[in-house]
Amino acid sequence: AAVRAEALKVDGVTVRFGGVTALADVSFEIEPGTVHALIGPNGAGKSTCINVLGGAYRVAAGTVRYGDRTLTGLRADQIAGLGVARTFQNISLSLDATVADNLLTGRHRLMRSGVLGGALGLPRARREDREHRARAERVAELLGLTALLGRSVHTLSYGDRKRVELGRALCAEPTLLLLDEPVAGMNPAESAEMAATIAEVRRELGISILLVEHDMPFVMGLAERVTVLDFGRRIADGTPAEVQRDPEVLRAYLGS
């Protein structure tokens, strides 16, 4: 099925937890098919923003639109159904299951025949099952995971687990991919490999990617545009070159 990325418009979003304002009137826009970075020091509100986009958190004010659909107010599964997939800052894989089975859980939203149809061996269910496995294999190939498909996740290195987490999100065939700190905790070699993988995903699939990162240098070679948060406020938005020399951005990073 042909997928087409749409523009994501975040407009005046505010999120509060009791007395804490995690996001204060934040706006930015992701152009279809681009890599957009959301950066900022710890506690800036980056994960909160992903949680809003994915439907896990409610907003106190503001709207999020994806193409002509309004995402604010929708449940997480409804947003996933519109082609938005995410990864988590802390890996959320089934450690005892194989890489292949973890990738297949990313197909859930696309499984029409359901578990019962599969168990009964209905022809349509069998055909769909082959489709799901073929997609998982293609994603594994794209991410360099083919040799690991039969391995249990608990036997993998941390870097490989992060790739499986990315692969599971890609198995849902998203048009917008939300990545929460994909290189957190990685060594420099793993981190460079992940950067190449993200660039490859964008080139091969033409989808939009929101890349949330604490690490400023990592996003600079990857993103067309960068939005910078600090204490829940947007303090800068522009090209990597623009935000890198923004005095308020430098202050936020040096002061943290």
Residues binding ligand ADP (CB under 6 A) = 17, 20, 22, 40, 42-48
Stretch of 43-51, 102-110, 198-206, 218-226 lying at the interface with Mg ion (CB under 5 A) = 43-51
Could you tell me the smallest distance in angstroms from the CB atom of residue 89 to ligand ADP? 7
Instruction: Output the smallest distance, CB 50 to Mg ion, in A.
Output: 8
Are the CB atoms for 162 and 99 separated by under 8 Å? no
| Span from 2-10, 69-77, 87-95, 147-155 in contact with Mg ion (CB under 5 A) | 87-95
> Using CB distances below 5 to 8 A depending on partner kind, what does residue 20 bind out of ligand ADP, Mg ion, none?
ligand ADP
Element (H, E) at 48: helix 46-53
Binding region for Mg ion (CB under 5 A) out of 45-53, 78-86, 122-130, 236-244: 45-53
Instruction: List the single partner that 62 binds among Mg ion, ligand ADP, none, CB under 5 to 8 Å by kind.
Output: none
Kindly state the tokens that stand for 44.
């800036």
Question: With CB cut-offs between 5 and 8 Å by kind, which of ligand ADP, Mg ion, none does residue 43 bind?
Answer: ligand ADP
Amino acid (1-letter code) at residue 82:
L
- Please give, one letter per residue, the 3-state secondary structure of 67-99: CCEECCCCCHHHHHHCCEEECCCCCCCCCCCEH
Q: What is the DSSP letter of 152?
A: B
Among 8, 35, 47, 240, binds Mg ion (CB under 5 A): 47
Residue written as token pair 């890599």: 35
In angstroms, what is the minimal distance from the CB of 249 to ligand ADP?
A: 14
Q: Which does 42 bind (CB under 5 to 8 A by kind): Mg ion, ligand ADP, none?
A: ligand ADP
CA distance 66 to 42: 27
- 158-171 and 123-142 are packed helices; what angle lies between their axes, rounded to 10 degrees? 140
Alpha-carbon distance of 24 to 21, in angstroms, equals 6
Positions that interact with Mg ion (CB under 5 A): 46-47, 89
